[in-house]
Amino acid sequence: MSNWPMQPIGMIESCFKEKFAIPRQPGLCPSAEATLHLLPPFDQADTVRGLEAFSHVWLLFAFHETAAQGWRPTVRPPKLGGNQRVGVFATRSTFRPNPIGMSVARLAGIETDQGVRLRLAGADLLDGTPVLDIKPYLAYADAIAHASNGYADAGNAPLAVSFAAEVEPALARLTQRLPHLRQLISEVLAQDPRPGYADDPDREYGMALYDLNIRWRCQAGMAVVCSIRHTNDNLPQ
């Protein structure tokens, strides 16, 4: 074995500011926005020449947030309710011998003025994720329509999502800055980010989207958003 040097070629700026509530795979929340900022010396228009003709890209990235926690030979996927173990290589778990993730994202645009930025939609990536590589997505090679997905079948019906009357004024104000916010929150909560074993109607959950702390409860198969606040202060937005 020889050694092969690797370094991040870019960094992700994402609407998801913490791990909790990030969709479990890409494409589940099409309104999720991310920007991939290429790093020097890769941040030149030449490295992405021709990429604009592709609608989707593969990203290979480091699970930097969980990498220090190492790996185990078996893991308990949330899909199996969190109580059945399968081999690490039979999962898309973040706790892997080499903490490498792969996600497909829609390529919404490329900017090459002052550095290089890829605008991405539908990514399941944490803010600050180091990206190791970009490859164009090739539907004829990468999409296998009749593949079997074992325990990881898409399955679960989405949760219904509603907004409490108290959050409407904040939402209306924020929509000027983030026009897709209501849609984004709805898509994220429809995936039911709660751990599989949690079902407490009084429990309040929170997630960090952009600079906002969004809180909700789950009652009778419905997620109800009960507060939207700025993360930096406790003032309602």
Output the smallest distance, CB 211 to ligand SAH, in A: 19
DSSP secondary structure string for all residues of the chain: --------SEEEEESB-SSTT--SSTTS-TT-EEEEEEPTTS-SGGGGTTGGG-SEEEEEEE-TTTGGG---SEE--GGGTT---EEGGGS--S--SS-EEEEEEEEEEEE-SSS-EEEEES----TTPEEEEEEE--HHHH--TT---GGG-S--PPPEEEE-GGGHHHHHHHTTT-TTHHHHHHHHHHT--S-TT---TT--EEEEETTEEEEEEEETTEEEEEEEEETTSSSB-
Binding status of residue 125 toward ligand SAH by CB under 6 A: yes
Contacting residue, 32, 121, 122, 124, with ligand SAH by CB under 6 A: 124
Per rule CB under 6 A, is residue 76 in the interface with ligand SAH? no
x/- mask, ligand SAH, residues 90-109, rule CB under 6 A, reads: --x-x------xxx------
**Given the complex with ligand SAH, which of 6 and 102 has the nearer CB atom?**
102
Q: Interaction with ligand SAH in 1-40: which residues (CB under 6 A)?
A: 19, 22, 24-26
Q: 27, 30, 42, 64: which one contacts ligand SAH (CB under 6 A)?
A: 64
Nearer to ligand SAH, 92 or 119 (CB): 92
List interacting residues with ligand SAH (CB under 6 A). Answer: 19, 22, 24-26, 63-66, 92, 94, 101-103, 124-126, 129
